[in-house]
Amino acid sequence: MRLTETNLLQDLARPDMARVMEAFKLRGFPKGKLVFHPREELDRLFIVKSGRARVYLAYRDKEFTMAVLDAGDVYATHTRAYVQALDDLELLVANISDVRPHLMTLPSLNSAIMHVLGELLSHAISVIDNLAFKDVRNRLIGFLAFEARRMPRCRECRGCGGCEDGGMVSLGLNTEQMASIIGSSRQTVSSLLNALAKEGVIELKGRGVICIPDIANLEALLHA
């Protein structure tokens, strides 16, 4: 969901950023692995190099996804949130104390951190709004429409011509992960996806791939 348009990976690759890069270590995590949790009490900063990471809050058997971080996004681990690898994940990780002396030489990092914090706050408010005022069906429809709008059209079937006015959403998420993102159960999300497929507004292709022939038609259900 790219929380910032700043290309930190490109900035850090510049020759004059070599000293800053010394503070970061490359770490890899397999899909599904818990990357950071609040009990670690670590003050770390990381930049997603490849893959996606889910930032979420957890209480007993409930999880609430606050953001999905894509390549180039930056995040600090001093919050109460957990971080999980949604894909095979590569992170550039540094102790904040090691990065702090270099912040003045990398204003784009300062800007990105502030932007991400602002987006996380905005998304947190949206999560609360959705959970308080929208039913599960509308939360799922809104999530699918948002993903379809932001991702390339016909990602999995480019050239077929079957979804010229829509998009292929290759989420890479199973039903249980989707449920945690919208604050529901796996069974409920599975039933809703099948119902939307019967209505013809989505096509289930399997393996986390959902075809949306007409995004506007899907979005219209939010106002029905």
**pLDDT score of 87 more than 80:** yes
- What would the pLDDT profile of 191-218 be if each residue is shown by its tens digit? 999 999 999 888 887 777 788 888 888 8
Cα separation of 197 and 189, whole Å? Answer: 12
Q: How far apart, in whole angstroms, are the C-alpha atoms of residue 157 and residue 153?
A: 9
Q: 36 to each of 11, 133, 181, how far by Cα in Å?
A: 25, 31, 18
Each residue's pLDDT tens digit, 93-123: 999 888 888 777 677 667 766 766 676 666 6
- Reported as a single tens digit per residue, the pLDDT across 57-79 is 876 667 777 778 888 888 888 77
The mean-pLDDT minimum among 52-56, 95-99, 108-112, 130-134 falls in: 130-134
Q: DSSP per residue over 38-52, as a string?
A: GGG---EEEEEEES-
pLDDT mean across residues, the chain? 77
Mean predicted confidence (pLDDT) in 143-156: 68
The answer on pLDDT for 183 being more than 50 is yes
In this structure, the strands spanning 209-212 and 203-206 are antiparallel
Local confidence band at 34 (pLDDT 50, 70, 90 cut-offs): very high
With residue 167 as reference, give the H or E element that holds it.
strand 167-170
- pLDDT of residue 53 exceeding 80: yes
Q: What is the DSSP letter of 122?
A: H
